[in-house]
Amino acid sequence: MSRYSRITGTGSFLPPKRVTNAELAAQLAAQGVETSDDWIVERTGIRARHFAERDVSTSDLGVHAARSALEAAGRKASEIDLIIVATSTPDMVFPSSATILQNKLGIAGCPAFDLQAVCSGFVYALTVADSMIKSGAASKALVVGAEVFSRILDFTDRTTCVLFGDGAGAVVLEASDTPGILSSDLHADGKHVEILCVPGTVYGGKVHGNPLLRMDGQAVFKLAVGVLEDAARAALAKAGRTEADIDWLVPHQANIRIMQGTAKKLKLPMDKLIVTVDQHGNTSAASIPLALDVAVRSGKIRKGDTLMLEGVGGGFTWGAVLLDF
Ligand code: UT7
């Protein structure tokens, strides 16, 4: 009998502090940085984002999302035998946020590690967990995407600081006789490192280089729509499915125009597109599981629906996962 993996529960968590475009614009204006609600909504679709308080870390957000996914799956933390946290804003240089989250869940022993693929992190992590379940290395995995991107934003750069937010999403992925995850298609191309990066690092006890996010937004935009279409088509082909089989497109929530562009290329009507970027901004590795959980809890996504998850981000990395929910 074949062994597959299937999502059995979803969860998410947003830090309570919600900042609207108008509130952010007013804060930035006080520092001489000019932006407006109109510009942000028109160019990105973002209306608000959440920011974590200073003493709140990625694993703090992640553990709330994880507990909620465990509850939805009807599982206890002690049943989990693999933890992967996709993040680019870990609690510390090391150990991983996954081990810190494991300890906060009150469990020990199972493998736990972070996965760094920036905004594609969740589709990468889901693919790794699926492979480990299929191989028999795990049977009940917790796959988390969690970020405190507000920590790495340059609030003097209006071209980036209005785009991102903090949050976490999680799924429980379990071994199953039926899929579940149908296929996935992952890629990276390191020649595009410069267009989206945080170039700084810790060196000799000091921060060396710029520790804040830098992005060539137009270059990212142009690459994103093309590679997302290719990855989605490749995932469909691997599973022997077509665009017509997709009930919901759950893309990385970066910019409504990129999301609509991908849906159009896949000939999907806009009402099959899950959109949370308006309320969350871009939460990087957290955006897909956050959007998924919101859509599941609102009753839009139901058991048996076919979902296309897809992400794109720094590296350049991109990928898609096709699954029956
Ligand atoms: O998660 C990883 C993936 N990341 C992404 O997907 C981001 C992809 N890129 C984008 O979403 C878009 O390129 C942006 C939203 C970042 C920018 O939108 P755009 O339509 O490409 O705008 P632009 O960069 O061409 O800028 C247009 C104008 C410029 O002014 P001039 O040169 O025309 O006078 C900018 O200086 O808008 C100006 N501008 C702003 N104005 C008000 C840039 N940022 C702002 C701002 N408020 N926050």
- Residue-wise pLDDT tens for the chain (325 aa)? 799 999 999 999 999 999 999 999 999 999 999 999 999 999 999 999 999 999 999 999 999 999 999 999 999 999 999 999 999 999 999 999 999 999 999 999 999 999 999 999 999 999 999 999 999 999 999 999 999 999 999 999 999 999 999 999 999 999 999 999 999 999 999 999 999 999 999 999 999 999 999 999 999 999 998 999 999 999 999 999 999 999 999 999 999 999 999 999 999 999 999 999 999 999 999 999 999 999 999 999 999 999 999 999 999 999 999 999 9
**Backbone φ, ψ for residue 56 (5° rounding):** -100, 130
C-beta of 156 in contact with ligand 1 (< 6 A): no
- Atom 38 of ligand 1, residue of closest alpha carbon: 159
ω before 180 within 30° of 0 (cis)?
Answer: yes
Please indicate, yes or no, whether the overall pTM of this predicted structure exceeds 0.85. yes
Q: Which of 50, 64, 252, 280 is catalytic?
A: 252
How many CB atoms sit inside 10 A of residue 268's CB? 20
d(CA 96, CA 265): 38
Find, among 249, 281, 284, the residue nearest to 120 by Cα.
Answer: 284
Asked whether this chain's domains 4-176 and 181-324 adopt the same fold, the reply is: yes
Is 252 part of the annotated catalytic residue set?
Answer: yes
**C-alpha distance across the termini of the chain, in Å:** 20
Catalytic residue from among 50, 110, 119, 280: 119
Q: Is 282 a catalytic residue?
A: yes
Residue 30, both tokens: 């006080």
Closest C-alpha residue for ligand 1 atom 29 = 159
Question: 161 CB under 6 A from ligand 1?
Answer: no
Q: Report the distance separating Cα 194 and Cα 191, nearest Å.
A: 8
**Distance in Å, CA 44 to ligand 1 centroid:** 8
Half-sphere exposure of 78 (CA within 13 A, CB side): 0
Q: Domain boundaries in the chain?
A: 4-176, 181-324
Ligand 1: residue of 33, 38, 215, 221 to mutate (most ligand atoms within 8 A of CB) is 221
**Strand order across the 82-86 sheet:** 4-13, 166-176, 140-148, 82-86, 112-115
Residue 272 Cβ inside 6 Å of ligand 1? The answer reads no
Residue 254: closest CA among 215, 295, 303: 215
Rounded-to-integer distance, Cα 118 and Cα 318, Å: 10
**CB of 280 shorter than 6 A to ligand 1:** no
Ligand 1 pocket, residue 282 CB under 6 Å: yes
**Whether domain 181-324 has CATH 3.40.47.10:** yes
> Does residue 227 have its Cβ closer than 6 Å to ligand 1?
no
> Is 255 one of the catalytic residues?
no
**Of 256, 309, 283, 322, residue with least CA distance to 86:** 283
DSSP state of 151: G
What is the residue-wise DSSP string for 278-306? HHH-B-GGGHHHHHHHHHHHTTSS-TT-E
For domain 4-176, the question of CATH label 3.40.47.10 is answered with yes
263 and 246 Cβ atoms separated by less than 8 Å = no
**What are the Cα distances from residue 155, in Å, to 51, 171, 298?**
13, 32, 33
The rounded Å distance from CA 43 to ligand 1 centre is 7
pLDDT attached to residue 1: 76
Instruction: Give the whole-angstrom CA distance, residue 290 versus residue 250.
Output: 10
Mutate-to-test residue for ligand 1 from 19, 38, 43, 214, highest number of ligand atoms within 8 A of CB? 43
pLDDT score of 220: 96
141 lines ligand 1 (CB under 6 A): no
Count H helices, E strands: the chain? 10, 15
Query: How far is the C-alpha of 238 from the C-alpha of 233, rounded, in Å?
Result: 9
Single out the residue of 283, 291, 320, 199 nearest to residue 18, CA to CA.
283
The residues, any chain, with a CB within 8 Å of residue 147's CB and separated by 6 or more, are 58, 61, 87, 88, 89, 166, 167, 168, 283, 284, 285, 286
- What is the CA(35)–ligand 1 centre distance, in A? 11
